[in-house]
Amino acid sequence: MLKFCGRLFIAILLVLMAVLPGGCQVAQPDDPSPLSALIQKLFPESSQQKRQKLMARLGSPDADLRREGVLMLGEGEAAGWKATPEILAIMAIGDTEPQVRAASVGVLFRIGEKERLPDVLAKASQDVSALVRLESVAGLSQGGDDSSRNLLLNLLNRDTESEIRGRAAEALGNYPNRRAVQALIAALDDDDFGVIYHAQQSLRKLTGKDFADDARLWNEWFISTKEPFAESGAEK
C-alpha cells in the first residue's frame, strides 16, 4: 500500500501539472487548491519540452522509462533543482520496481543531497530487493555517522547476499570504530571468499596490521591493544 500511494502521489502531481494552463504558476493566497502550491514548490520552471519529457518518463507505467526519468534528474540543470531530492526520495521509497528504487537511491547520493538521504538509505538498506540494498551501501560508506555505521554492521552480519556483505565489509573500512573491527574480524569466518577478502582489506586499512585471514590472531591482537587504529588512534 505504501508503494502504491507513493506512485499515486507522483502521478497526481504530474497529471495536474500537465493540465494546468501555462504550466507551473504561483498559487494566489485565495487559491482553493493546496496542490497548486505544492506543484509550484516541487517543480521549477524549465522549458516546456524538457518538463514534458521528464513528466512522461516519471509517470510512465513502464519501469524502464521511469528509471530513465530518475537518471535524467541527476543530469545537468535538473540535478540542482530544489524539487529533485524530494522527487527522488519518493521514487526511492515508493516505486513498485526495484530497478527504479535503486536508481533513485543512487542518484540521490550522487547529487550530494543531505537532508533526505539518511532516511532513504536507512529504508533502502532494508529493502526486499538485493539490488536496492546494494545501492544503499555506497551512500552508507560515506556517511561517517553512527547510524550509517550501524546499518552497515547490520548488512555485514545479517544480509543473505554475499555481495552485499562483502561491500558492507569494504565500506566499514571507512569507520575507525571498535565495533566495526570486531565485526570485520568475525567476517573472516564467512563462507564467501569475497566477504573474507574485503574484511581483510578493511582491517589492514583501519589498523595498519596484517594477520591475513586468521581470526584468532586478529582477536588476540585486538584484545591486547588499547589503540588499534592506524593513524591517529581516534575512534569514531
137-161 pLDDT tens trace:
999 999 889 999 999 999 999 999 9
- CA dist 181 and 158 (Å) reads 16
Rounded to whole angstroms, the maximal C-alpha distance in the chain is 72
The superfamily (CATH) of domain 143-236 is Leucine-rich Repeat Variant (1.25.10.10)
21-61 pLDDT tens trace:
344 433 344 444 454 455 455 555 556 667 778 878 888 88
Fill in the amino acid letter for 57.
R
Q: Do the beta carbons of residue 52 and residue 30 sit within 8 Å?
A: no
- pLDDT band with cut points at 50, 70 and 90 for residue 19: very low
57-87 pLDDT tens trace:
888 889 999 999 999 999 888 888 888 898 8
Please tell me whether residue 231 adopts helix, strand or coil conformation. Answer: coil
**Which cell numbers hold the place of 50?**
524538457
Q: Taken in order 38, 69, 7, 103, is the CA torsion positive or negative?
A: negative
User: So where are the chain's domains?
Assistant: 61-135, 143-236
Query: What letters, b where the CB count within 10 A reaches 16 and e where it falls short, cover 179-192?
Result: ebbebbbebbebee
Instruction: Output the pLDDT for position 13.
Output: 54
List CB contacts of 203: < 8 A, sequence separation 6 or more.
173, 181, 184, 185, 209, 211, 218
- 88 versus 76: the higher-pLDDT residue is 88
Residue in the block written with cell 495536474? 16
- CA dist 144 and 231 (Å) reads 17
List CB contacts of 58: < 8 A, sequence separation 6 or more.
10, 14, 66, 69, 70, 87, 91
161-176 pLDDT tens trace:
999 999 999 999 999 9
Please tell me whether residue 87 adopts helix, strand or coil conformation. Answer: helix
